[in-house]
Amino acid sequence: MRRDEALRVLGLGPEADARTVRRRFRELARERHPDRGGDPSAFAELRRADAVLRAAPAPARPTVARGRPSRTAPAVAPTTPEADAAGLATALAARAGADGTARLRLVSVAPGARRNRLAAALPDGSIGVLELVTRGPGPDGPGTVEVRLSARGRAARRAVGRLALDDAGLAGTWTRRRVDAAVELRAAPPPSGATVPARTATAAGAAARLLAALGWPAAEWHPET
């Protein structure tokens, strides 16, 4: 007797599992047992069907674990320093005053942190600050550029602290120091020209190269409220 024939004897479909087969066999055995007036040949066929199905049980059904499924990090499109620089330059230029001074202050939590989108509403002690400042020309020169990244929080401090400035090609432009409960990176690159766009491009380019080296793209930084 084949398995499909045994299932027909018990009146079951091909998806029946071992528990269903046992329950159905007991029901039919009570009905067809010769001691209860059943047909001996039908009962014998039922016994053979049960033996076949026990020897060839249905494939186990896939099980689904209970609880919350594990989360995977969302795929993030790679960013280039040039793309980040363009966005930073645009945001910084929008804050330029009549005297050529502009200040852009952005906040974030840590590279890849899900809370980055909420960083602007978090306490100062748990966020990092990226600040770009350009000042107009004065008696000593064509103007200045300053960029500062202050990393707070364990993950942010770790990312900034282990960045090898030499290997990333940032040595000579950036300096690192510890300030209170933060690790700070500072740069004051000379502007490439005396105009506001030139100073803006210098600040944005320096910030973008740093963020690219840290794996902390500008898209994860948000204007401080």
How far is Cα 159 from Cα 123, in angstroms, rounded to an integer?
Answer: 20
Domain count of the fold of the chain: 2
Do residue 160 and residue 125 come from a single domain?
yes
Share of residues in the chain with pLDDT > 70 (%): 88
Mean pLDDT along residues 203-217: 92
**79, 216 contact by CB (below 8 A):** no
Higher-confidence residue: 40 or 73? 40
First vs last Cα of the chain: how many Å apart? 77
CATH number, position 28: 1.10.287.110
Mean pLDDT along residues 164-188: 89
In a domain, 85, yes or no: yes
| 3-class secondary-structure state, position 220 | helix
The confidence score (pLDDT) of residue 174 equals 92
Name the H helices within the chain.
3-10, 18-32, 40-55, 81-93, 154-161, 196-214
The confidence score (pLDDT) of residue 68 equals 59
Q: SS3 string of 116-168?
A: HHHHHHCCHHHCEEEEEEEECCECCECCEEEEEEEECCHHHHHHHHCCCCCCC
Residue whose tokens read 């033996």? 51
Range of the domain at 9: 3-55
- List pLDDT tens digits, range 62-108: 555 566 555 554 444 456 777 789 999 999 999 888 887 899 999 99
Do residue 30 and residue 92 come from a single domain?
no
In a domain, 173, yes or no: yes
